[in-house]
Amino acid sequence: MKKVIALVLVMMFCVSGLALADAKPEIRMGTNANFPPYEYHEYIDDVDKIVGIDAEIADAVAEYLGYTLVIDDMDFGAIITAVQTGKIDFGMAGMTVTEERLESVNFSSTYATGIQAIIVPEGSEIASADDLFVEGKNYIIGVQESTTGDLYCTWDIEDEGLGTVERFKNGADAVQALVTGKVDCVVIDNEPAKAFIAVNEGLTILETAYAVEDYAIAIAKENTELLDKINGALAALTEDGTIPAIIAKYIPAEEAAE
Ligand code: GLN
């Protein structure tokens, strides 16, 4: 009997040892999952999952580097600090590379282009980006807090006394304020803009954009080893077609050309 127990124990150790050897270390990504098609919640078989371009690219990068991806959903404005303090290993949230952010974190190579677009109600007297800078108009502009849309409109319009910026926790709330007439327009990234106008009638995206930008992954300044690894993974996964296929799945080519 003792022999049997000993044998069972030995087998248990072996199995758990194998399981341990098999377990991949975790890598944590911080994002704000309210930014379709880059990251958003979707119920798949009744399970709440974060999906989208960033979520899938991050999963491919993690797999390529031998990690298990864990996604931490947080306010967009909290991501850079979470990277700096090590709460997360990287931030990936349709995040634009800017001079200011580069003072706090490093950015990977760019994996996508973003455009700051302007959403207005159909028939609005705001017909182009230039209309926002007309003295005396004092438009109320809705933005997502801490995004480049917020920063540009604050500097160019609010600080110049040309209008007011209303800041919302996420893009969906800013668009809701537009629907109810609390703001005159919303400045937000083009792809989420398309997703938001698709589910809200009576809104349109202006043809002139506010700005064109590059999206990249934010990594702590001191973690240059991870920066190199992620850049290597991005290059390999672009080369073998994985990343272009993920982007094409969420942004069909004919739509991207619009
Ligand atoms: N691209 C914008 C920025 O980096 C918005 C990103 C977002 O809202 N997730 O500020």
Q: Is 114 in the pocket of ligand 1 (CB under 6 A)?
A: yes
pLDDT in tens, 99-130: 999 999 999 999 999 999 999 999 999 999 99
What number of other Cβ atoms are within 10 A of residue 248's Cβ?
Answer: 13
pLDDT in tens, 170-190: 899 999 999 999 999 999 999
DSSP assignment, residue 87? S
Superfamily of domain 2-111+216-257: Periplasmic binding protein-like II (3.40.190.10)
Residues 6+ apart with CB under 8 A from 231: 108, 109
Q: Is 119 in the pocket of ligand 1 (CB under 6 A)?
A: no
Residue written as tokens 């798949």?
44
The atom of ligand 1 lying closest to the CA of 32 is 9
The atom of ligand 1 lying closest to the CA of 170 is 8
Mean pLDDT calculated for residue range 35-39: 95
CA of 93 to the centre of ligand 1 (A): 7
CA of 102 to the centre of ligand 1 (A): 15
CA of 242 to the centre of ligand 1 (A): 23
Residues 6+ apart with CB under 8 A from 118: 126, 129, 132, 185, 186, 187, 205, 206, 208, 209, 210
Mean pLDDT calculated for residue range 133-158: 96
Q: What is the mean pLDDT of the chain?
A: 92
pLDDT at 238: 98
Secondary structure of residue 185 in the 3-state scheme: strand
The atom of ligand 1 lying closest to the CA of 148 is 10
Q: Is 108 in the pocket of ligand 1 (CB under 6 A)?
A: no
Q: Which CATH architecture has domain 113-212?
A: 3-Layer(aba) Sandwich (3.40)
Q: Is 95 in the pocket of ligand 1 (CB under 6 A)?
A: yes
Residues of the chain with CATH 3.40.190.10: 2-111+216-257, 113-212
